[in-house]
Amino acid sequence: MKSSLILIALLLLAGVWLMSCDKHDYADDLQQIGSRVETLEQKVLEANNALETLGEIITVIQQQGFVTKVTQNADGTTAITFSTGKTFTLRSGRQGVDGRDGREATLKLSVAQDPNDGQWYWTLDGEWILTAGGQRMRAGASDGRNGQDGKSASEAGATVPQVRINVTTRHWEISADGGNTWQDTDVLADGKDGNNGANGQDGQDDLFESITIAADGKCITFILRDGRKFTVPIG
Q: Is pLDDT at 204 greater than 90 in this prediction?
A: no
β-pairing, 183-188 vs 200-201, is: unpaired
**What's the Rg (C-alpha) of the chain?**
24
CA distance 145 to 200: 48
What are the tens digits of pLDDT across the range 208-226? 888 999 999 999 999 998 8
Q: Is pLDDT at 162 greater than 70 in this prediction?
A: yes
Confidence of residue 10 (pLDDT cuts 50, 70, 90): very low
Among candidates 102, 101, 94, which has minimal Cα distance to 225? 94
- Compute how many other C-beta atoms are within 10 angstroms of the C-beta atom of residue 46: 18
CA distance 129 to 156: 20
0.75 surpassed by pTM:
no
What are the tens digits of pLDDT across the range 21-79? 555 565 555 555 556 667 788 889 889 999 999 999 999 999 999 999 999 889 888 89
CA distance 210 to 92: 5
CA distance 192 to 85: 41
CA distance 176 to 207: 17
Can you give the length of the chain in residues? 235
Question: Among 35-39, 69-73, 92-96, 143-147, which range has the highest average pLDDT?
Answer: 69-73
Q: Is pLDDT at 166 greater than 80 in this prediction?
A: yes
- CB contact at 8 A, 67 and 220: yes
Where exactly are the structural domains of the chain?
19-233
Among candidates 180, 154, 183, which has minimal Cα distance to 171? 183
Backbone angles phi, psi at 39, to 5 degrees: -65, -40
**What's residue 121's pLDDT?**
95
Q: Is pLDDT at 104 greater than 50 in this prediction?
A: no
Counting Cβ atoms within 10 Å, is residue 50 exposed (0-12), middle (13-18) or buried (19+)?
Answer: buried
**What's residue 182's pLDDT?**
95
**What's residue 149's pLDDT?**
47
CA distance 104 to 190: 6
CA distance 207 to 194: 26
- CB contact at 8 A, 9 and 1: no
- CB contact at 8 A, 73 and 211: no
Confidence of residue 88 (pLDDT cuts 50, 70, 90): very high
Q: Is pLDDT at 197 greater than 60 in this prediction?
A: no
Average pLDDT score, the chain: 75
User: Greatest CA span in the chain, whole angstroms?
Assistant: 96
Q: Is pLDDT at 102 greater than 60 in this prediction?
A: no
**What's residue 116's pLDDT?**
92
